Amino acid sequence: MDDIGRRIEALARPIAAAFGCDVVGVRFGQGRKRAIVTVFLDTIQPDPTPEQWQAAERPFDPERDPLPPPYAGSRVSVDACSRVSREVGAAIDAEGVVPGSYVLEVSSPGLERPLVRPADFVRHRGRRVELRTVEAVEGSRLVRGMLAAVDAEAVWVVPGEARGGPAAPRRVPLAAIAAARLLYEVEAPVKPGRPGSKARKR
């Protein structure tokens, strides 16, 4: 995130909190005529308990650990987004954060929610994620797979099935992650005559 994005996030966070919301991402870019500021909100979630942190450090095992339900998305209302937008826009103007004219968009992050803080990874352990790293980790800057474990310094992601059996978890330091998000999976329709189908991954 650039300096303008960080300043906008600093302004938006206490405003959003007053409406029961948490800022999970800020995007700032230059459009054809005006800058575009996008603020993503989610409802405020309780911090993970010490027991949840301890459990998150243990590699996820589908045979032992209950699978998390499909992520249903943010519960932030349209009214909350509208109110936060008015307050954030006024704060940006008062502080002169964005040079020139701009468009402000405030919305929920959708089903592919960004994962920003360590607590986000703890809450979504067992779900599929996509990580982009600052530098290559084991030869790649893109890691997709099941979020298997989390501690204060790193996350472990199982990329999927490898030849000869399950792939080994990949350790990704939190400091090396440039961006992270949940991956939304759509169940493919079952074709006649076939007993089942596989999830189509984006």
For 178, residues 6+ apart whose C-beta sits below 8 A from its C-beta are: 132, 133, 134, 141
Q: Secondary structure of the chain in the HEC alphabet?
A: CCHHHHHHHHHHHHHHHHCCEEEEEEEEEECCCCEEEEEEEEECCCCCCHHHHHHHCCCCCCCCCCCCCCCCCCCCCHHHHHHHHHHHHHHHHHHCCCCCCEEEEEECCCCCCECCCHHHHHHCCCCEEEEEEEEEECCEEEEEEEEEEECCCEEEEECCEECCEECCCEEEEHHHEEEEEECCEEECCCCCCCCCCCEEEC
- CA nearest 69: which of 112, 114, 129, 126? 126
Query: What length is written for the chain?
Result: 202
Based on the number of CB atoms within 10 Å of its own CB, is 1 exposed (0-12), middle (13-18) or buried (19 or more)? Answer: middle
CA distances to 76, 124, 160, 161, 194 from 116, in Å: 18, 12, 23, 27, 40
Phi, psi of 37 (to 5 degrees): -110, 125
pTM, whole model, 2 decimals?
Answer: 0.80
- How do residues 47-89 score in pLDDT, each as one tens digit? 999 999 999 999 998 888 888 888 888 889 999 999 999 999 9
CATH class, 3-186 region: alpha beta
pLDDT score, position 161: 56
* pLDDT score at 187: 56
* Per-residue pLDDT at 180: 95
Low-confidence residues of the chain, pLDDT below 50?
A: 163-164, 196-202
